[in-house]
Amino acid sequence: MRDNNFKRNDNKGAKSLGKVSGNGRSFDKGRDNDHGRDFGKDRYKNRRNDSADDEEIEIPADSLAIEGRNAVVEAFRSGKTIDKLYVLDGCTDGAVSTIRREAKKAGTIVKFVSRERLDQISITGKHQGVIAFAAAYDYSEIEDIFAKAEAEGKAPFVLILDNIEDPHNLGAIIRSANVAGAHGVIIPKNRAVGLTATVAKTSAGALNYTPVVKVTNISKTIEDLKKRGMWFVCADMDGKPMYDLDLTGPIGLVIGNEGSGVSRLVREKCDMIASIPVNGEIESLNASVAAGVLAYEIVRQRRLKK
């Protein structure tokens, strides 16, 4: 369901730092890996301008933090999932341009921030104008969802999120999915929030029990799951009332972006379009609330069919 009053998260002051491995470094101030020399201020142009993002930087707990140009570009090229990339505002040289191209190809969220912001989160002091954060939690596979459903002896029930951007919404949806007995949540790799500390906290622990799968293409994933006998319903205010639809059996519930709803291509892949009846002056619900309402309509219908 659409949420025209959606505002992006500006959760401030999150500074929970965990240990990392691989190309990252431990957030242990006693250790200081050298990812290259620190470039002077003369290498950067227009360090502060109106395009800079002044919001506080949220550091995902227990995340893989990667500092330095070579380390960051190799992380992208190795296929590592990078949830956020922080770049020094105004930095336009070749190495950073290459990193930005890799981030664009990967669909990574890029934030342009001041040197002061980067310095605040850098332990090495040699970030070279770029710091990347990988997923705080491991993602599951599609097969994990089917295995969970099989172990419970139930028809698969999944939630598919079409470009949810607010970490609070993602965390709340994962929580609702778990409480409703869904076997997993599927999110897109590009242009959507990943598993961050805020998501984990908002999920109230549900993230530890609910498989979250990250896929490259939501539309193709729906097609593949249809071949395995699943049906799909998406949430939209112009659909049929949810009470008038058969939402039993192996089913996937698709929830759209907070502002624009379910994208056209994804909507066309769905078998049904469901709306939630409204009786007040406000015509739409927040994305996470809509997910909870529709998930429990699926639960209700499944119970009645027993």
For residue 119, being part of any structural domain is answered with yes
CATH number for position 61: 3.30.1330.30
Q: Which domain holds residue 101?
A: 41-134
Contact 99, 69 (CB under 8 A): yes
For residue 225, being part of any structural domain is answered with yes
Using CA atoms in the order 196, 135, 133, 166, what is the torsion angle rounded to 10 degrees?
-30
- Tell me, yes or no, whether 225 and 157 share the same domain: yes
The DSSP bridge partners found for residue 130 are 87
Tracing tokens 């490259």 back to the chain, one arrives at 216
- Distance of alpha carbon 16 from alpha carbon 14, whole angstroms: 6
- Tell me, yes or no, whether 128 and 175 share the same domain: no
Structural domain ending residue among the three candidates 134, 162, 194? 134
Residue 162 DSSP one-character state: S
Number of structural domains found in the chain: 2
CATH number for position 286: 3.40.1280.10
For residue 67, being part of any structural domain is answered with yes
What are 254-283's pLDDT values in tens digits?
A: 999 988 899 999 999 999 999 999 999 988
For residue 189, being part of any structural domain is answered with yes
What are 34-44's pLDDT values in tens digits?
A: 333 333 333 33
Percent of the chain with pLDDT over 70: 77
For residue 265, being part of any structural domain is answered with yes
* The Cα angle at residue 177 between residues 80 and 267, in degrees rounded to 5: 75
- Distance of alpha carbon 178 from alpha carbon 203, whole angstroms: 9
Mean pLDDT taken over the chain: 81
Contact 258, 289 (CB under 8 A): no
The helix/strand/coil state of 274 is: strand
- Tell me, yes or no, whether 201 and 169 share the same domain: yes
**In the prediction, which pLDDT does 36 show?**
35
Mean pLDDT along residues 213-217: 95
Question: How far apart, in Å, are the Cα atoms of 265 and each of 47, 193, 278, 286?
Answer: 40, 20, 26, 22
CA 33, distance to chain mean position in Å, is: 29
What are 72-105's pLDDT values in tens digits?
A: 888 888 777 888 899 999 988 889 999 999 999 9
- Tell me, yes or no, whether 121 and 224 share the same domain: no
For residue 33, being part of any structural domain is answered with no
- Distance of alpha carbon 18 from alpha carbon 55, whole angstroms: 22
Percent of the chain with pLDDT over 90: 53
- Tell me, yes or no, whether 147 and 128 share the same domain: no
For residue 23, being part of any structural domain is answered with no
Q: Is the pLDDT of residue 196 over 60?
A: yes
For residue 26, being part of any structural domain is answered with no
